[in-house]
Amino acid sequence: MANIVQFEDVGLRYPNSDGETLSGLHFTLVSGGFYFLTGASGAGKTSLLKLLYLAQRPTTGTIRLFGEDAGTLARVRLPGFRRRIGVVFQDFRLVPHLSVFDNIALPLRLSGVPEGDIDAPVREMLEWVGLSEKGQSTPPTLSGGEQQRVAIARAVIGRPEILVADEPTGNVDPDMAARLLHLFESLNRLGTTVVVATHDFHLLGRIQNAHMMRLEAGRLMDPTGALRNPPARPSA
């Protein structure tokens, strides 16, 4: 299996913060893997995911995505790179004045898919997340869990190579959480590398062969030994 993501000694310090939010991250994700990222609130999960989907640059170290150094990537190639990564944001980030249908269609339209080829995949997605009746609604009229499902449909409609989801089951009941996880699992079976940050420990045992990544105060633990971290170094 090819390495799809490599973090090499990556650190992140936000400009106005006292210390490093993330430090010494050194790991590899393989193509087609399923990864859970856990850790207490404030441990740095969202920050790590932002590095992964190129919304944040690291302060130190190198991030390789799809075999290329993301730090030296020409600006013009960034949007194309980002399209290969589907993101489910913790706060959904749906476009409030667009219908559910148009929110889900957005990645296809941005990639230049012809209008005639948009209807069928969006309808399929709506069905997939159980929102076939809500295509013409706007996000502010939906429940939190429904908005979350729209966000998931939008993240996966472009068949991304990597799916990054930040607390994707935070607003749904246990049945829906299990269903959404099943959707991620089916995507993963089709070859998508999936990275899910979650507090929900019930989810963790549900995916066979999932790897666990645990963040503690900005440092990565490797309970399953799958990330090939080097042994912890003594702090300087």
Ligand X SMILES: Nc1ncnc2c1ncn2[C@@H]1O[C@H](COP(=O)(O)OP(=O)(O)OP(=O)(O)O)[C@@H](O)[C@H]1O
Q: Does 93 bind ligand X (CB under 6 A)?
A: no
Binding pattern for the stretch 10-29 against ligand X, x by CB under 6 A and - elsewhere: ----x-xx---x--------
Q: Which of 50, 134 has the CB closer to ligand X? A: 50
The alpha carbon of 195 is separated from its chain's Cα centroid by a whole number of angstroms, namely 5
What's the min distance (Å) between Cβ of 181 and ligand X? Answer: 18
Q: In sequence order, which ranges of 115-173 are alpha helices (DSSP H)?
A: 119-128, 144-156
Site string for ligand X, 43-82 (x = CB under 6 A): xxxxx-----------------------------------
Q: For 71, which DSSP code?
A: G
Within 64-211, residue ranges assigned H as helices are 78-83, 100-110, 119-128, 144-156, 174-189, 201-204
CB of 201 to ligand X, least distance (A): 13
Count of residues that interact with ligand X, criterion CB under 6 A: 12
- Under rule CB under 6 A, residue 201 binds ligand X: no
Number of Cβ within 10 Å of residue 147's Cβ equals 20
**Least distance between ligand X and beta carbon 227 (Å):** 17
| C-alpha pair distances (Å), 79 with each of 31, 76, 85 | 21, 7, 10
Q: Which stretch binds ligand X (CB under 6 A): 41-49, 93-101, 116-124, 206-214?
A: 41-49
The residues that bridge with 215 in the sheet, in sequence order, are: 39, 220
Residue 205, both tokens: 């045992």
Distance, CA of 186 to CA of 104 (rounded, Å): 19
User: Which of 9-17, 73-81, 91-99, 143-151 is the region at the interface with ligand X (rule: CB under 6 A)?
Assistant: 9-17
Pick the closer one to ligand X by CB: 134 or 219: 219
> What residue ranges bind ligand X (CB under 6 A)?
14, 16-17, 21, 39, 41-47
